[in-house]
């Protein structure tokens, strides 16, 4: 018995923030952004759109693709670092909007690795309990926590959501293995300092811009290119497979240079790497399910393809999943 991806979906807001737009907002240029990130544009939500709104659209698309009704869902997991509010969970708001009345619902925050963590949690629930269908969503509105006076971060991040519906079945397809890890020593490299119990919101935290994302970009780059091969090795070992067996590499869309470096280290041809960071930017927990769902919508995947999914991000967190495509 294995957990299978029955359906995929994604949603991005209509608003587009191009590099030329950013040139008017901060000291940067199209060439500077492209050479360092590979990003040409990113999607930005309007002020009325929250994470649950994008999650809902992606979830509806995934449910339709899976031919599953919301009332059939047993659980909803939303991976996000930009929830609608500190409480209740965004997953509960999504459950209500979907009318998925019998589904348990909770959020999970592992930053950019969030979808991989949520996928692994969902797999274990499916295989060790009576749960039949689980909705996993990665959704972010990062434009709310980006400092648009900091050219090193504001050029990177965008808004969007991706979703998968999981079920279970016999056979050798589906989720073959997962691997999760963390390195809390690097907690300070990527953070939003204020808004929690350490530094609750105050006039001082707002004045000091402590509610915006802070990132040591060069250190995050070094971390990513180091741990991606490690994650690949661990998850492949658990499945008894080799890197040569992989048909598609599905990385967190953090930075094009990271993706290119990782593909070379893993010796995976560029045509076998799923990439959409150029038009959407870094969507944290939403990036992996979004690039996966977009590939499905473009009919790039075929039954039997082996997908290597790898995430990495704040925490520091990292993880991987190996999926034999079953559709």
Question: What digits encode the pLDDT tens for the residues 270-294?
Answer: 999 999 999 999 999 999 999 999 9
Q: What is the pLDDT of residues 286-323, one digit of tens each?
A: 999 999 999 999 999 999 999 999 999 999 999 999 99
Q: How far apart are CA 156 and CA 277, in angstroms?
A: 9
Last residue of a domain, one of 121, 142, 172: 172
Asked if residue 27 and residue 14 are part of one domain, the reply reads: yes
Count structural domains, the chain. Answer: 2
For residue 98, what pLDDT is reported? 99
Asked if residue 264 and residue 215 are part of one domain, the reply reads: yes
> What number of other Cβ atoms are within 10 A of residue 72's Cβ?
17
**pLDDT level of residue 33 (50, 70, 90 thresholds):** very high
Whole-number Cα distances in Å, 259 to 134, 204, 246, 305: 29, 38, 16, 20
Last residue of a domain, one of 172, 191, 226: 172
Asked if residue 80 and residue 223 are part of one domain, the reply reads: no
For residue 170, what pLDDT is reported? 84
Q: For tokens 């500190």, what's the residue?
A: 86
Last residue of a domain, one of 115, 144, 172: 172
Q: Is the CB of residue 153 less than 8 Å from the CB of residue 95?
A: no
Q: Is the CB of residue 103 less than 8 Å from the CB of residue 68?
A: no
Strands 306-313, 317-324: pairing kind: antiparallel
Q: How far apart are CA 295 and CA 276, in angstroms?
A: 9
Whole domain around residue 93: which residue ranges? 2-172
Residue 223 has φ and ψ, to the nearest 5°, of: -60, -45
- Give the DSSP H or E segment for 167: strand 159-169
Asked if residue 8 and residue 124 are part of one domain, the reply reads: yes
Q: How far apart are CA 33 and CA 17, in angstroms?
A: 13
Asked if residue 221 and residue 161 are part of one domain, the reply reads: no
For residue 150, what pLDDT is reported? 94
Asked if residue 163 and residue 91 are part of one domain, the reply reads: yes
Asked if residue 290 and residue 181 are part of one domain, the reply reads: yes
Interhelix angle for 287-297 vs 114-128, to 10°?
Answer: 80
Q: Mean per-residue pLDDT for 209-233?
A: 97
Q: How far is C-alpha 135 from the geometric centre of its chain's CA atoms? A: 14
Helix (H, G, I), strand (E, B) or coil at 218: helix
Question: What is the four-CA torsion angle of 17, 85, 216, 189, rounded to 10 degrees?
Answer: -160
> What number of other Cβ atoms are within 10 A of residue 219's Cβ?
14
Asked if residue 166 and residue 262 are part of one domain, the reply reads: no
Q: How far apart are CA 255 and CA 56, in angstroms?
A: 27
Asked if residue 92 and residue 135 are part of one domain, the reply reads: yes
Asked if residue 163 and residue 70 are part of one domain, the reply reads: yes
Q: How far apart are CA 310 and CA 177, in angstroms?
A: 12
For residue 128, what pLDDT is reported? 87
Strands 159-169, 2-11: pairing kind: antiparallel
- Give the DSSP H or E segment for 322: strand 317-324
Asked if residue 198 and residue 141 are part of one domain, the reply reads: no
Q: Which residues are catalytic?
A: 112, 252, 282
Q: Mean per-residue pLDDT for 218-225?
A: 97
Q: What is the pLDDT of residues 226-268, one digit of tens each?
A: 999 999 999 999 999 999 999 999 999 999 999 999 999 999 9
Q: What is the pLDDT of residues 104-131, one digit of tens each?
A: 999 999 999 999 999 999 999 999 888 9
Q: What is the pLDDT of residues 191-208, one digit of tens each?
A: 999 999 999 999 999 999
CATH assignment of the domain containing 55 = 3.40.47.10
Task: State the sign of the Cα–Cα–Cα–Cα dihedral 220, 188, 252, 169.
Answer: positive
Asked if residue 283 and residue 179 are part of one domain, the reply reads: yes
Q: What is the pLDDT of residues 124-160, one digit of tens each?
A: 999 988 899 999 999 999 999 999 999 999 999 999 9
Q: What is the pLDDT of residues 159-172, one digit of tens each?
A: 999 999 999 988 88
Q: What percent of the chain is predicted at pLDDT more than 90?
A: 96
Q: Is the CB of residue 259 less than 8 Å from the CB of residue 275?
A: yes
Q: Mean per-residue pLDDT for 73-87?
A: 98
């Amino acid at each position: 018995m294995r957990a299978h991806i029955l359906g995929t979906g994604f949603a991005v807001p209509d608003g587009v923030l191009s590099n030329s737009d950013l040139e008017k907002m901060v000291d940067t240029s199209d060439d500077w952004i492209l050479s360092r990130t590979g990003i040409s544009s990113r999607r930005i939500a309007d002020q009325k759109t929250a994470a649950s709104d994008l999650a809902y659209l992606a979830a509806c698309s995934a449910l339709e693709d899976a031919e599953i009704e919301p009332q059939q869902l047993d659980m909803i997991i939303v991976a996000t670092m930009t929830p609608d509010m500190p409480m209740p969970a965004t997953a509960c708001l999504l459950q209500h909007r979907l009318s998925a009345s019998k589904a348990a619902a909770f959020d999970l925050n592992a930053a950019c690795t969030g979808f991989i963590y949520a996928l692994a949690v969902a797999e274990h629930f499916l295989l060790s309990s009576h749960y039949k269908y689980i909705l996993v969503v990665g959704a972010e509105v990062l434009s709310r926590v980006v400092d648009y006076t900091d050219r090193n971060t504001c050029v990177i991040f965008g808004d969007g959501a991706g979703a998968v519906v999981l079920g279970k079945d016999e056979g050798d397809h589906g989720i073959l293995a997962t691997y999760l890890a963390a390195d809390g020593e690097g907690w300070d490299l990527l953070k939003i300092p204020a808004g929690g119990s350490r530094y609750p919101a105050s006039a001082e935290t707002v004045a000091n811009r402590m509610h915006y994302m802070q990132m040591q970009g060069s250190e995050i780059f070094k971390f990513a290119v180091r741990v991606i091969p490690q994650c690949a090795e661990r998850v492949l070992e658990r499945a008894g497979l080799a890197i040569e067996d992989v048909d598609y590499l599905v990385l967190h869309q953090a930075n094009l240079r990271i993706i290119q470096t990782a593909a070379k280290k893993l010796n995976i041809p560029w045509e076998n790497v799923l990439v959409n960071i150029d038009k959407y930017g870094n969507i944290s927990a939403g990036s992996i399910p979004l690039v996966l769902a977009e590939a499905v919508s473009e009919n790039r995947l075929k039954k039997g393809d082996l997908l290597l999914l790898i995430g990495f991000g704040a925490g520091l967190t990292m993880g991987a999943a190996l999926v034999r495509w079953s559709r």
